[in-house]
Structure 1
Amino acid sequence: MIELREKGRVRIEGKLLLLSGLHIGAGKDSVEIGGIDNPVIKHPFTGEPYIPGSSIKGRLRFLMEWAFDAIRNDGHAWGYDDGQPVDPNDPVLRIFGNALKDWKGGPTRLIVRDCPLTADDRKRYSEAPDRFFEEKTEVLIDRIAGKARDGVGPRRTERVPAGVRFEVELVFRLYDTGDGGVRDLACLNWTLLGLWLLEQDALGGSGSRGYGRIRFEDLHLVAPGDVRHALDNRFRGHRFDRHTPPAIVSAEALFPKAA
């Protein structure tokens, strides 16, 4: 049995700015004449848009599976079942969790909270809620004629427009698995690098059509004892190395007394 002891938890806090319209769908139980075909998810009591933590975590996992060359040919997520090598040091399985029966690497490390509007945007929403949604009409193109296909009506998709900001909070649990927490510190740095991968990709649906471009702002890492470290641009611009992550955050910064 692998040794397992929690060393502490860190938080990653900041804001997420939309650089293009974002669509994270809510689904519809009914079809309304003249209504939106694809509405965005909203808070059931206030009607405010928000970003589910599962949307960010799922996209991060997708991007990091590709970065680590950990893609399953059957289309399932890495760690979906036992039809793959079980390595307790696997970064993807440590960070995001898995359903493996013989997993001995400990609990899921990364927790991603739902992202509400920032305080400023909540105030603006209360004054003019309609400004927080836009309708984008799209058509199906006839590839031969180069025009809208006859007989197929336009699709109306709801988006949260560019310029809206959301609060972001991620929690990362660090465990000592017999190595003093070295492996989990590496996984934390890979996770921070994953945020830069997300900035280069897209969040939500229709990313290949320009939706979901985002940027993180004012990111801070909050170490045990509520010690804050500004991340600024330190998580950006690194080459993704599958064996050694960049030293964005050091052990000394997280645990100065134990260093």
Structure 2
Amino acid sequence: MTDLALLGRAAITGKILLLSGLHIGAGKDVIEIGGIDNPVIKHPHTQEPYIPGSSIKGRLRFLLEWAFDKIRQDGQPWGANERSENATADEADPILRIFGSPIGKEVWKGGPTRLLVRDAMLDGEWRQHATDRGLPLTEEKTEVVIDRIAGKAHDRIGPRQTERVPAGAKFDLDLVFRVYDTGDGGARDEECLNWLLAGLSLLEQDALGGSGSRGYGRVRFEGLQYRDLDGKQHAIDNRFRVERFDPHQAPRLVTLKAA
């Protein structure tokens, strides 16, 4: 295995602003007459909606796999099921470095997952704003199936109710990026960190959660702050938005240590 030395942990914090309603489903164990068909996931104690870290990380991985042309024909995540004795994996692979590798340790020599994504909880100020005005923290959206011939709602398929977090809601973003020296002083992990930041720009252009093709889940990142390995804070609110994602050359958005 490549010799690994942990250099430290960088962090990205900020806000996730919803520009359209967000639906991240929780599943439903019971069917209620007149109830919500598709509820959103909520914290078990507060019953407030939140965005699971797994949803953010999964969407970023999906978008970056496409950006790096790492899409498998079987639909599995990049690197999945590569456990045979003849399998190999590039230790510099940005997808496997950033998001982790399902490959067995006998094949993958690039070290632990770099990216940790915390659950994004409701922004306290926005929650208080909604509470003070008596506004609900979620909304119900009615959807129907259209009869292609009649051009109206289908007679035999009733409307369905989907729960969403409304546009305007804010959540706290908290990402941690572990940086390792793999014989290069952390240079490759610095490149991966910058590609990850560019991935936030891709997410703004796409959607988070379900039904993105129907207008759900449009988000914007605000007030982004980067903490380098020296603990110094840097504002990167607009710098991460790249016009063109280059899989061959990482953008120079942040450095591991202040110059």
TM-score class, shorter: over 0.9
Q: Deviations over 1:7-29 (max 9, x none)?
A: 11111000000000000011111
**SS in structure 2 at match of 1:7:** strand
Q: Deviations over 1:208-250 (max 9, x none)?
A: 0000000000000011343100002110033111111110012
Q: Which residue of 2 aligns with 1:25?
A: 25
Q: Which residue of 1 aligns with 2:99?
A: 96
**SS in structure 2 at match of 1:120:** helix
Query: 2:134 and 2:245 mapped to 1: Cα distance?
Result: 40
Equivalent residue runs for 1:1-259 within 5 Å: 1-82=1-82, 85-101=88-104, 102-127=107-132, 130-250=135-255, 254-256=256-258
Please report the TM-score for the alignment, with normalisation by the length of structure 1.
0.94
Query: 2:143 and 2:79 mapped to 1: Cα distance?
Result: 37
Residue 47 of structure 1, CA deviation: 1.3
RMSD: 1.5
Q: Deviations over 1:29-57 (max 9, x none)?
A: 10111000000111111111111000000
Contact kept? 1:48, 1:125, Cα under 8 Å: no
Residue 85 of structure 1, CA deviation: 4.8
Q: Deviations over 1:51-98 (max 9, x none)?
A: 100000000000000000000101111121117751111100110011
Sequence identity, in percent?
65
Contact kept? 1:238, 1:246, Cα under 8 Å: no
Contact kept? 2:71, 2:77, Cα under 8 Å: yes
Corresponding letter in the other structure for 2:257: F
Q: Across the two proteins, how many residue pairs are aligned to each other?
A: 254
Contact kept? 2:230, 2:257, Cα under 8 Å: no
Larger displacement relative to structure 2 (85-94 or 21-30): 85-94
Corresponding letter in the other structure for 1:96: F
**SS in structure 2 at match of 1:132:** coil
Query: 1:176 and 1:62 mapped to 2: Cα distance?
Result: 26
Q: Deviations over 1:132-158 (max 9, x none)?
A: 111111111222332222200111000
Query: 2:133 and 2:121 mapped to 1: Cα distance?
Result: 17
Query: 1:63 and 1:129 mapped to 2: Cα distance?
Result: 37
Query: 1:129 and 1:40 mapped to 2: Cα distance?
Result: 20
Query: 2:11 and 2:112 mapped to 1: Cα distance?
Result: 17
Query: 1:88 and 1:145 mapped to 2: Cα distance?
Result: 57
